[in-house]
Amino acid sequence: MELLLEYILTAQTLILVFVIVLLKTSIKFVPQNRAYVIERFGKYQSSKEAGLNFIFPFIDRVSADRSLKEQAVDVPEQSAITKDNISLHVDGVLYFRVLDPYKATYGVDDYVFAVTQLAQTTMRSELGKMELDKTFEERDVLNTNIVTSINDAAGPWGIQVLRYEIKDIVPPQSIMEAMEAQMKAERVKRAQILESEGDRQAAINRAEGEKASVVLAAEADKSEAILRAEGEAKAIVAVATAQAEALRQVGEAAATEDGQKAIQLDLATKAIEAKQAIAKESSVVLLPDSSTEAASVVAQAMTIINTLNKG
């Protein structure tokens, strides 16, 4: 009886262990952003996504565990030749993710190795289409072309390349020295251009200053000439006014009897002074044939004045 009980307990224990092992092998917890590829009798059966999944124990098995996260793979440094026959050393980083676990498992033996090699060959091919200067200036275009080419070829592998970044492009030492010399020449050229522009602007400023100075000087001369002309005109008017006033007063005085006498006296005095001046300047003096020449001159002048007054 005891042997029977012991046998029953042993059988129950074995059954319990079998059930536990059966449950453990049939229940699969798939982590987030991962996928299990299930094979049944060595043939693809299904792909299990994140969460609780069940499989048939001893019949089904997990043949591959694929990550669906974005992955970064370092592309080793390699040599490439540009369109203008310059040898470069280029390396980069490739970012991709698995879209189809089935294709990534059965479409290629090692998809990471395959996509890395494809990135290298594509990089060499794209660099061969560009000249050296363009590889530095159009790096974004080069990255985009590499990603497009890789995606076209990696479709059967269930891989999507998100982006490719070139880390470094190293030309030969001689090319680097030539590029440095060119950059130095460009900097010197820019400095000379800036200096010449500064000299040109300074010359323009000086010319504009001289022009403004000449204009101001001309304006000042013009104003001075106008003021001088106005002053001279006013002086002439004042002199003419004074002379007219003097003549008017002389005329008024000459209209009187005393004025007539004063005029006769003045004319006689001037006649005598004129004779004296002529005698001083000339060695020959012609005397008048009549002793009343001065009186006749005065009489003639008085006759003219009386005629003017009557007029």
209-262, pLDDT tens digit by residue? 888 888 888 888 888 888 888 888 888 888 888 877 877 777 676 667 666 666
Neighbours of 43 (CB within 10 A): 7
**Cα angle value 236/240/242 (rounded, 5°):** 115
* Spatial contact of 49 and 35, defined as CB atoms under 8 Å apart: yes
What pLDDT, on the 0 to 100 scale, is given for residue 94?
A: 92
What pLDDT, on the 0 to 100 scale, is given for residue 295?
A: 59
Query: For residue range 59-97, what is the model confidence (pLDDT) as tens digits?
Result: 888 888 898 999 999 988 888 888 888 888 888 899 999
Higher per-residue confidence, 246 vs 56: 56
- 206 token code pair: 């000086």
Question: How far apart are the C-alpha atoms of 127 and 129, rounded to whole Å?
Answer: 5
Sheet holding 34-40, edge to edge: 43-48, 34-40, 60-67
User: Strand 27-30 and strand 60-67: pairing?
Assistant: unpaired
Average pLDDT, the chain: 80
Report the top-level CATH class of 71-171: alpha beta
Q: Cβ-count burial of 122 within 10 angstroms (0-12 exposed, 13-18 middle, 19+ buried)? A: buried
Torsion over CA of 106, 109, 112 and 118, rounded to 10 degrees? -100
What pLDDT, on the 0 to 100 scale, is given for residue 271?
A: 67
What pLDDT, on the 0 to 100 scale, is given for residue 188?
A: 83
Work out the pLDDT band at 184, boundaries 50, 70, 90.
confident
- Residue 99, classed as helix, strand or coil, is coil
What pLDDT, on the 0 to 100 scale, is given for residue 289?
A: 47
* Spatial contact of 37 and 66, defined as CB atoms under 8 Å apart: yes
Query: For residue range 105-135, what is the model confidence (pLDDT) as tens digits?
Result: 998 888 899 999 998 988 888 888 888 878 8
Query: For residue range 261-299, what is the model confidence (pLDDT) as tens digits?
Result: 666 666 667 766 766 666 666 555 454 544 445 556 556
What pLDDT, on the 0 to 100 scale, is given for residue 216?
A: 86
* Spatial contact of 120 and 167, defined as CB atoms under 8 Å apart: no
Kindly list the domain boundaries of the chain, sorted by start residue: 2-67, 71-171, 256-310
- Whether the pTM exceeds 0.85: the reply is no
| Tokens 């005329």, residue located | 251
DSSP 107: S
What pLDDT, on the 0 to 100 scale, is given for residue 141?
A: 85
